[in-house]
Structure 1
Amino acid sequence: MQTEPFRDVQEFDDGYLEITWAKRRKILDDKEEFYPDDALVVRDALIWLFRTRNIADPDDMEYEDLSVMLGRYPIVSQEEDLFGLVTEERLIALMTKIDTLLQEEVHEVSFYADDFHGKGTAFGETFNMHELTAAHRTFPHDTLVRVTNLENHQSVVVRINDRGPYIDGRDMDLSFAAFRQIADHSRGVIHARFERLGNKNLAGLCGDGETRYQKRITKAYRFHRGVPHTFPLGQTLALRANKWFVIRSIIYPDGMIENVQDWVPPEDFFSITPSMKGEYRFRFSTPFRHSREMRMNVIDCPKAQN
C-alpha cells in the first residue's frame, strides 16, 4: 500500500510534514515516489515556486506552461539552463525574486453584495456581505490577504472563502464591508496590491482555528509543544523537549543563516522572538546527530478577523 505522501518518504524522515502538505495541495506531482536524494533542477524549482504562490489554477501550472509563467514573472533569463542544478542560495534568490514581483503586482479589485448575501460560497459557507471576506480564483480557502488600495493606501485584511471573480481582468471580489473599509462603494473597481499573511486555520492565532505543531525530532525526542506552522510577529517562541536536543541553525526570511549549535537540556528551553515576517527554517538534532528541519511562517497577525 502506498505510503502517504510517497512510498519513499516515511513519517520520521526530514521534511515529511512539508512534503505531505505540498502534495495534498498539488504543489508536488501526484506520483508514487518522491526521489528525495535526487538533485533539484531549475525547472522543478520554478514549477514548485509558482504553485506555492498560487499564481494560476494548478492545471495551468504544468511544465508545458512554464514559458507563459516566466513571461509574466521573468525570474530567470531566457538563456537559463532549466536542467541545471539549484543550490540553496539560488533557490532563496528565486523565492525572493518571485515574492518581490508579486508584491509589486497591481490587481483590479471590486466587490459583491446584496445579490449574493445569504447564498452559498464555493467552499460551502454562507456569504455575508458584512464580514471581511473575499473571492479569489486560486488562493486557498481561509488564506488571509491584506488588500491595499493604491489610491489612498488604505488596507483591509480579508479571509478567502469563495471563488471568483469571473470577469476578465478582475483579480478579486471583496465583500461589501471589506471594500467600504478601503474605498467608497460608488467607485466599483479599484487597483490594489495583495499581501498574503498565512492560513487562518493553520495559524490558530488570527481566529478560532486549531494551531498545528511540529513536535518530533525523532520518535524518542519530542518537544513539549513544538514549532507551530504559523506564528505571530513579535511574540516569543519557547522550545523545551523531553531530552537533550541541539538547535543547529536557523535560516531567516531574508536568507541569513545563523549557525547556533546550542545544546538544550530537558530542564531548559530555547527561545526566539521573530522580528521579520516570512519563513523561518530551524535545523534540530539529537546528541546522536539524528536531525530534522522544521519551518515556521511568521505573520503580522491582524487584531480581529471575521
Structure 2
Amino acid sequence: MKHKIFILILIASVLVLSSFTHKYNFYQEPKKVSQDTLNKNVTIADSLGLISNLTLTLHKKNAHASYYHNKFNGRRTASGTKFDNTKYTAAHRKFPFGTKLKVTNEANNKSVIVIVTDRGPFSKGREIDLTRQAFMDIAANKNAGNLKVTIEVIK
C-alpha cells in the first residue's frame, strides 16, 4: 500500500513539474533594422538653397508656433509615423500629411523646412507645432516657448 502511494505521489509530482517547463528557443532571428536613406550630413542651409527654384505660397504671417514636448518621442503621429523630436516635422490642423512648409521666424529671419506629419496644435491661438529641433534652429531666444512665424507652402 505504501509502495502504491509513493508511486502515485511520484507520478503526480512529475506531471506538476513538467507543466512548468518551457521549451526555450536558443536561436532567435536578428531584428532587421532598415537604414535611413537620407544623408545626415545635409544641412539646413543646403536644403534652403535647393528650394530657390520652387514656388512658395504664403499661407499666414504672424502665426504663433510652439514646439512638441519630449514626452511625445516614440509615439505614433496622426499620419502613422513614429515621432522624433530631432527631425524636421510639424503638426498642422489642415495641411495634408506630407506637405512641405517653410517656417520663418519673423524676429531674426531664420527659417526651416518641415514636413507635416501630425495634427494639431490644439491650443487656442497656435497655428503650428514644430519639433524641438526645428524650433530651436529658428528661435532667437532658446528659452522661449512660442514664436511669431511666417508659414509658406512649398510647391
What is the TM-score with the length of structure 1 in the denominator? 0.31
Aligned to 1:157: 113
Matched position secondary structure for 2:82? coil
Describe the superposition over 1:188-217 as per-residue Cα deviations: whole angstroms up to 9, x where unpaired. 00000011003xxxxxxxxxxxxxxxxxxx
Matched position secondary structure for 1:193? strand
Aligned to 2:147: 190
Matched position secondary structure for 2:70? coil
Number of residues paired by the alignment? Answer: 98
Counterpart mapping for 1:54-69 below 5 A:
none
Q: Which stretches of structure 1, 4 residues or more, deviate above 6 A after TM superposition?
A: none
2:143 alignment partner AA:
S
Aligned to 2:48: none
Aligned to 1:116: 72
Q: 2:85 aligned with 1:129, yes or no?
A: yes
How many percent of aligned residue pairs carry the same amino acid?
Answer: 38
CA RMSD of aligned residues (A): 1.4
Counterpart mapping for 1:26-45 below 5 A:
none
Describe the superposition over 1:112-131 as per-residue Cα deviations: whole angstroms up to 9, x where unpaired. 03110111100101000000
Structure 1: how far apart are the matches of 2:147 and 2:116?
18
1:193 alignment partner AA:
T
C-alpha displacement of 1:151? 0.4
Counterpart mapping for 1:49-128 below 5 A:
102=59, 105-128=61-84
Aligned to 1:174: 130
Paired residue for 1:146, among 97, 102, 108?
102
**Greater radius of gyration (CA):** 2
Aligned to 2:15: none
Higher relative contact order (CA 8 A, sep 6+): 2
Describe the superposition over 1:218-268 as per-residue Cα deviations: whole angstroms up to 9, x where unpaired. xxxxxxxxxxxxxxxxxxxxxxxxxxxxxxxxxxxxxxxxxxxxxxxxxxx
Counterpart mapping for 1:185-264 below 5 A:
185-198=142-155
5+ unaligned residues in a row in structure 2: which ranges? 1-56
What is the TM-score with the length of structure 2 in the denominator? 0.60
Matched position secondary structure for 1:177? helix
Matched position secondary structure for 1:119? coil
C-alpha displacement of 1:185? 3.5
